[in-house]
Structure formats: structure tokens, C-alpha cells
Structure 1
Amino acid sequence: MNAFFIGLQFLTRLKLVNQTEWTVESFGRSVLFFPWVGAVIGGCMALVYMLLGGYLDPSLMALLLVVFEFLFTGGLHADGFMDTCDGLFSGRDRERKLEIMKDSRVGSNGVVGFVFLTALKWQLLTHIPAESMIPVLLCMPILSRYSLVLSIRLFHYARPEGMGKAFAVYSPSYTLLVATIFALLPTFLFTWDYVLFLGLTIGINLILNAYISKHLGGVTGDTYGFVVESTEIILLFIAVVLIAVGGPFAS
């Protein structure tokens, strides 16, 4: 379980066990448990909704959920999203794009991307009916963190070094199989509705990472975050549309 706690501490601000020394092997092994970390994030968001959802306006509640997720994860994926927007959409050559993404300063593309990301997530959550909110809040973080596993295991890392490189190099060869089994467990609660969204997650991931790899020569730690956030937004949009027509997660 040490690897799970490492993953939890890295992907969130929650420190059930304070890990002060991480070996690269343990760091890589933590990738196995990223869907579990997503379940913790989703469970905490669902708990916040259950405690406050009956008392607050739906729009305000949705905004609080967006803020809570950002604070709970420390903005880790949002930071990668902004850096990727700055580099990927800069219109420069491949090497310059990678240099821009390493710059700690946020450019205009990153700011605009983050504003759109936050506004879209807020408004999409506002349009999730109350009776469908708990399943959506539980499932989306699991699926997006499973998408992170796909990014790590299926795509070439573009840089010769970096924190994300440890995930790619030291995650076990069976990581994708085990993480997929973990990611499938919510099927027992949500049946085929969830399976559909799992399939959509895989498709979204392959499309996004193929585009990123074409322009950057591979993926990076920043693009991991970009794919996580983009996957959540796309899945939320699909959920809103399908629920509106009586599809998956509709009561």
C-alpha cells in the first residue's frame, strides 16, 4: 500500500501517511493506483455535495465543487494544462514549444485556457441534475486518472528527463492491466453506463495524445495534466448531453 499512499500524496494534498523519501521504483509503482486516487477525489467531492447540495443554489454548489477539486489536488493538473496550452498552441517549432512549457511563467494561452477550463467545468456541473450528480462526481475523477495511466504507459516521453519520466520508466510492465481492472470496479455500481464512459475515456485519450505527440514528439508531465483536465471536461459535456436525452446516469 506504500505505493498507493505515494500516489495519493503526489496527486492530492491529502497525506494519510507522510512520505518523505520516495524511491523511483515506488514512484513508478504508484501509477498502478491512480484510479484509486481518482476514487478518493471523487468520494470527497461527492461528500461535499451531499453535505451542502441541499442548502445551496446549484450554480454556487457547482462552483464550490470546482474550487474544492482545485484545492484538493493542489492545482497539479491545472498547472500542466496551462503550460501545455502555452507551448502547444504557441505556433513555434517543436523544440521551442518544449522550452516554453518548461518556463515557470504562465503566458496568455495558458491564462485563456485556464479561464475556459474553469468556466466550462463550472457550467457543465451546473447542468448535471441533482439525482445524477453523485454518480458523475464519483466516476469522472476515476476515469480521468485512469486516462493518466494510459498517457504514461502508451505514449513515448518527449524529454530525456523529468518527473514524468519516472512514471514512464519505472511503472511496472503490468501497470496498464492492473489499473484497467481497478478502473472497471465501479461497473458493479453503475453497470453499463460506466462502461460506456470508460470506453469514451480511452478514445479521448488516444486522440488527445496522438495530437500532442504529433506536435511535441511525445508526451510530458505537463501534457499528462492537460489530458486529465481535458478528459474531465469532455466527459462532463458528454454526460450533460446524454443525461438530457435520458441516456447514461439519467435517473
Structure 2
Amino acid sequence: MRMKSFVTALQFLTRINFYHQNVVSAEEFGQSVKFFPLVGAVIGLVLAGFGYLALGYFPIHVLAASLVVLELVLTGGIHSDGLMDTMDGVFSGRPRERMLEIMKDSRVGANAVMGFGALLLLKWSLILDLLSTGVIAAALFLMPVFGRLAMVIAVTTFSYARPEGIGKAFAQFAGRPALYFAFATAVIIALPLGKVAWISLTASVIFAVLLGRCFCKWLGGLTGDVYGAINELTELLVLIVFLSREWVLLWLR
């Protein structure tokens, strides 16, 4: 059952498919949430492995762009799509109900384009700077792990804004045990990687809670799109922490 839940999470969050699942119940979706950080570890291993092997063979600006594209290919852009829809809704300046309607609209607005462009530019810039450091592999590995832990925090801690949707299944059937399991997974992954990893984990947890509260205030709850946005924003935070590691460690002394 646990393996099936992990495969459900893997196939939902990535383009990796082991077998075709005809029907996935809402309960099965909910049970898969606890494995989100583990799926992040799979993505992180691919990114870190590619970055490690390709470093020295490509110009670093090309490699940085390749890593950004590789993550999009691995995930199918599912979280970026959520960020775009969220930007369209939140920055529309409309009432709460209208924001939710805009987020559900499949058409792409100006705010979505600007948000996605900013995401790509920031992620490329951060990875580019990290490629010349000795922590790039750890940063690439932990970035998707902590991003998906942030999603679990959002799913299990905050109310859902809509009466239906795939995100509703996550929120309805993933309880506190899923959060504890996901957090323990992230801690185990981060422990061997040193102080910067621990600081990044702590910052990601705090950031996810703050983002969740903000989006709840704006939208009256979270949605599947918001989960994706929280993942993307947390990934940026992880890269920022690793890039500013010397200052952070000095400040914590």
C-alpha cells in the first residue's frame, strides 16, 4: 500500500510513469501526500546528478538554464502552472470569489506571464551563482525536497478554498500523520548535509506557514494552484539560503 501511495505521488508530481493508473480515488491521493518530499528527493537526485556530471563540459550559464529546463521537464511544469494561475488571481485586484474564478480559468493573463518569467529568471540567476560554489549539488538536491515539504505543510495545515478539486482530495485525506511523516523524511535527508541544510529546512517550514497564512487571508483558503505556488517560492528560498550561506552562518554565531 505504501509503495502504491509513493508511485501515486511520483506519477502525479512528475512525468515519471511506472504503470498506468486508470482511476485514483480521492483517498489514494490523500495518502500519497506524505511521500511528496521523497518524490522531491528523486527529482533532486536527477538535478544534482546532471549538474555534477555536466559541470565543466558546458558554460555555466548554459548549464544553469539546462537545469531549470530539466526540472520543468521532470515535473511537467505542474507547479509553475499553479504559480501562474495564483499570480493571475491574487494580483487581479478583484474580490476573493472573483480571484478564485480567475485562477480556475485556463487562459493565461499578464500577471501569470510576468510571474513565470520572474520565476525562471530568479531560479536561473541563483543556480548560475551557485554553480561556482561547492554547495551546488546539495542545493539542487534539497531544493525540490523542501519545496514539496512546504506543499505538505500547506495541505495539512490550512483549509481548502473550494468545495471540489484534486487539491481538495489532498486536504481532505492527508492529516497530521502525513505531515509528521513528510517532516521526518525531510529531516533524515537533511541531517547528513550540514548546517546550511538544517537552516534551509527551518526557513522552508517557517516560509510555508507564512505563505499559507497570507494566501488564506487573500483567498479564504488554499487551492491546488496555491500548493504549486508555495512549492516554487520555497524552492527559490532554498537557493537563496544556500547562496547566502556565509552570511547566514555568521549571523547565527
Of 13, 16, 19, the residue aligned with 2:18 is: 16
Residue 5 of structure 2 corresponds to: 3
Residue 79 of structure 1 corresponds to: 81
Distance 1:208 1:188 in 2: 25
Residue 152 of structure 2 corresponds to: 149
Distance 2:52 2:240 in 1: 22
Unpaired segments ≥5 residues, structure 2: none
Of 151, 166, 169, the residue aligned with 1:166 is: 169
2:41 aligned with 1:39: yes
Q: Which moved more, 1:95-104 or 1:44-53?
A: 44-53
Distance 1:139 1:189 in 2: 12
Aligned-residue CA RMSD (Å) = 1.4
- After TM superposition, give the deviation of residue 192 of structure 1 in Å: 2.9
- 1:124-135 mapped onto 2 (5 Å cutoff): 124-128=126-130, 129-135=132-138
- After TM superposition, give the deviation of residue 98 of structure 1 in Å: 0.5
Whichever residue aligns with residue 49 of structure 1, its letter is: G
Distance 1:39 1:22 in 2: 23
- 1:1-251 mapped onto 2 (5 Å cutoff): 1-128=3-130, 129-243=132-246, 245=247, 247=249
TM-score by length of 2: 0.94
SS in 1 for 2:148: helix
- After TM superposition, give the deviation of residue 58 of structure 1 in Å: 1.1
- After TM superposition, give the deviation of residue 246 of structure 1 in Å: 8.1
Matched residue count: 247
Distance 1:65 1:155 in 2: 32
Q: Is the 8 A contact 1:31 1:175 kept in 2?
A: yes
- After TM superposition, give the deviation of residue 134 of structure 1 in Å: 0.6
Deviations 1:184-241 (A, max 9, x none): 1123321332221111001111111111110100100000011110111122122212
Distance 1:54 1:183 in 2: 30
Deviations 1:52-108 (A, max 9, x none): 112011111110000000111000000000000000011000000000000000100
Whichever residue aligns with residue 202 of structure 1, its letter is: V
Structure 2 vs 1, CA of residues 18 and 130 (structure 1 numbering), >3 Å: closer, same or farther? farther
Unpaired segments ≥5 residues, structure 1: none
Q: Is the 8 A contact 1:35 1:183 kept in 2?
A: yes
TM-score by length of 1: 0.95
Provide the identity percentage: 42
Whichever residue aligns with residue 228 of structure 2, its letter is: G
Q: Is the 8 A contact 2:34 2:179 kept in 1?
A: yes
Q: Is the 8 A contact 1:186 1:194 kept in 2?
A: no
Distance 1:193 1:242 in 2: 6
Ranges of 4+ aligned residues in structure 1 off by more than 2 Å: 16-21, 245-248
Q: Is the 8 A contact 2:156 2:175 kept in 1?
A: no
Whichever residue aligns with residue 33 of structure 2, its letter is: V
